[in-house]
Structure 1
Amino acid sequence: MKLKLPIFHRFAVLFSVAIVWVYAEILTAAGAYDKRSPITQRSCRTDRSGLVSSARWIRVPYPFQWGRPDFNAGDAFSMMAAAFVAIVESTGTFIAASRYGSATPLPPSVLGRGIGWLGINTFLDGIFGTLTGSTASVENAGLLGLTHIGSRRVIQISAGFMLFFSVLGKFGAVLASIPLPIVAALYCVLYAYVASAGLGLLQFCNLNSYRSKFIVGFAPFMGLSVPQYFNEYLATSGHGPVHTGSTWFNNIVQVIFSSPATVAIIIAFFLDSTVSRRHSSTRRDSGRHWWEKFRNFGSDTRSEEFYSLPYNLNRYFPSV
């Protein structure tokens, strides 16, 4: 059996990072950044902060390495707001990954299962003191669209490599030394696939309806404008626009309205539930009728056929 392996297409990200990384290493060794501004050196140099030399070879993480946990009701509510933002942003990533993985639309049960695992991972993050919670990776969903590989076996193997190399401090330091412009460029490319997956769902709506046009135009605009206002207000004043005597309430509002995706989905959901709700064509124009058959896992035979496979075969292996 002869397989077609488009190496440069499938490993385009790895090759691009390696080539630009080597070029940045050459510029750093040649002294091209020695007389540049501190911001340029911090972003472009590959030897910043002595990451590789100061990292240990082997470091095994263990629970409560920073001491016993402290509990505060206000901080708990702030973390709930952060978890809500992570759920909103991860939901979009789940849907994009399912579309690029050639899966049927996710039923609420499968989507809730993924969100539940995010909660368990966030709990483990707190135990190990990672300072950040867990959320779905937009980059991985973008890689599905870029490489056309929807195999779950790839994710399993990648997770194994991540667990193994996380113990090797030097390896992590080498990855952390990647210049930030390279990471930013990758994010721009991969995020484009996730955003286009969301725009592709508009094909099920009636875009000739002025109601749909207003929601599609207004929600993303406010999703970009409101977080920008909150972030600039925080940068100039040292606190958010909502500045009450309750710190935890201020943090909740700041976290929620600093997320573009969260603001956009809140506005879109509110408008979709109120604007011309009683009109006979509203349900058809919004495309909700198309999703109803996927509300339950067993209501569509394609769902069972896809999820019963050990892994999804991508389009490069049509003869398998």
Structure 2
Amino acid sequence: MGSRRAVELGAVILILLSFVGKVGGFIASIPDVMVAALLCFMWAMLAALGLSNLRYSETGSSRNNIIVGLSLFFSLSIPAYFQQYGLMPNANSSVPSYFRPYIVASHGPFHMGFGGVNYVLNTLLSLNMVIAFLVAVILDNTVPGSWQERGVYVWSEPEAVRREPAVSRDYELPFKVGKAFKWVKWVGI
């Protein structure tokens, strides 16, 4: 199934079903092994989708390889540093790993005078996706490279976007909502 419409319809159905208590009870009864398998598949698809966005850039460029490599490396190492603060010796070790960012939020390495700022920084910097995003955005916008190398040439001309159906299909709004926003430069394609 490659249609985005099926995903959109499924999302609407799931939102509506979330208001029914029996459905929530059924979903809560799904074994952890099944949930783990679904999460593995979902994260694999997200990683593949993220890497497929590199198809417009020059993948043989050392600039792009370094940016991707550093963002992947830092997205694994920095959250591991932050998450070590969530492993307190007296804490219950049966806490699932996906709850660690919330434990780190209150016990992380940031201890400024503002409790809310500590909580936000400790939580965000313990999440792999946030670190990968920040490192990739900062490096992509600071390391010099040509438009061809960065893959920006595809979006630089509105006519080129209209000619290449893959680009417009990937970024169009669902159910032709973009027609209502023709006045916005890139939305009303």
The structure carrying a bigger helix percent of its residues is: 2
Matched-pair contact (CA < 8 Å) for 1:209–1:285: yes
The CA deviation at 1:260 is: 1.1
Matched-pair contact (CA < 8 Å) for 1:234–1:241: no
Q: Which residue of the partner structure matches residue 205 of structure 1? A: 57
Indicate how the Cα distance of structure 1 residues 289 and 177 shifts in structure 2: closer, same or farther if over 3 A, else same: same
Cα distance between partner residues in 1 of 2:135 and 2:173: 37
Aligned runs of 1:73-222 on 2, under 5 Å? 147-151=1-5, 155-156=8-9, 159-160=12-13, 162-163=15-16, 165-222=17-74
CA deviation map 1:139-196 (0-9, x unaligned)? xxxxxxxx323325x6336524642x33432332122111111111011112212211
**Matched letter for residue 75 of structure 2:** G
Q: Which has the larger radius of gyration?
A: 1
Cα distance between partner residues in 2 of 1:157 and 1:270: 35
Matched-pair identity in %: 31
Indicate how the Cα distance of structure 1 residues 269 and 178 shifts in structure 2: closer, same or farther if over 3 A, else same: same
Provide structure 1 residue ranges, at least 5 long, that are not aligned to the other structure.
1-146, 312-320
Indicate how the Cα distance of structure 1 residues 291 and 185 shifts in structure 2: closer, same or farther if over 3 A, else same: same
Which of 130, 152, 158 does residue 262 from structure 1 map onto? 130
Q: Which residue of the partner structure matches residue 162 of structure 2? A: 300
CA RMSD of aligned residues (A): 3.1
Cα distance between partner residues in 1 of 2:14 and 2:142: 48
How many equivalent pairs are there? 156
Indicate how the Cα distance of structure 1 residues 208 and 158 shifts in structure 2: closer, same or farther if over 3 A, else same: closer
**Matched letter for residue 285 of structure 1:** E
Cα distance between partner residues in 2 of 1:162 and 1:309: 17
Matched-pair contact (CA < 8 Å) for 1:227–1:259: yes
The CA deviation at 1:309 is: 9.1
CA deviation map 1:105-156 (0-9, x unaligned)? xxxxxxxxxxxxxxxxxxxxxxxxxxxxxxxxxxxxxxxxxx323325x633
Matched-pair contact (CA < 8 Å) for 2:5–2:174: no
Indicate how the Cα distance of structure 1 residues 308 and 225 shifts in structure 2: closer, same or farther if over 3 A, else same: closer
The CA deviation at 1:214 is: 0.9
Q: Which residue of the partner structure matches residue 150 of structure 2? A: 286
Cα distance between partner residues in 2 of 1:172 and 1:159: 15
SS at match of 1:241: coil
Provide structure 2 residue ranges, at least 5 long, that are not aligned to the other structure.
90-105, 177-189
Correspondence 1:248 to 2:149: no
SS at match of 1:236: coil
The CA deviation at 1:247 is: 0.9
Indicate how the Cα distance of structure 1 residues 180 and 203 shifts in structure 2: closer, same or farther if over 3 A, else same: same
Q: Normalising by the residue count of structure 2, what TM-score does the alignment of the two structures yield?
A: 0.68
Bigger relative contact order, structure 1 or 2, given CA contacts below 8 A and separation 6+? 1
Correspondence 1:223 to 2:87: no
Indicate how the Cα distance of structure 1 residues 282 and 310 shifts in structure 2: closer, same or farther if over 3 A, else same: closer
Q: Normalising by the residue count of structure 1, what TM-score does the alignment of the two structures yield?
A: 0.43
Matched-pair contact (CA < 8 Å) for 1:206–1:287: yes
Cα distance between partner residues in 2 of 1:258 and 1:194: 19
Indicate how the Cα distance of structure 1 residues 167 and 204 shifts in structure 2: closer, same or farther if over 3 A, else same: closer
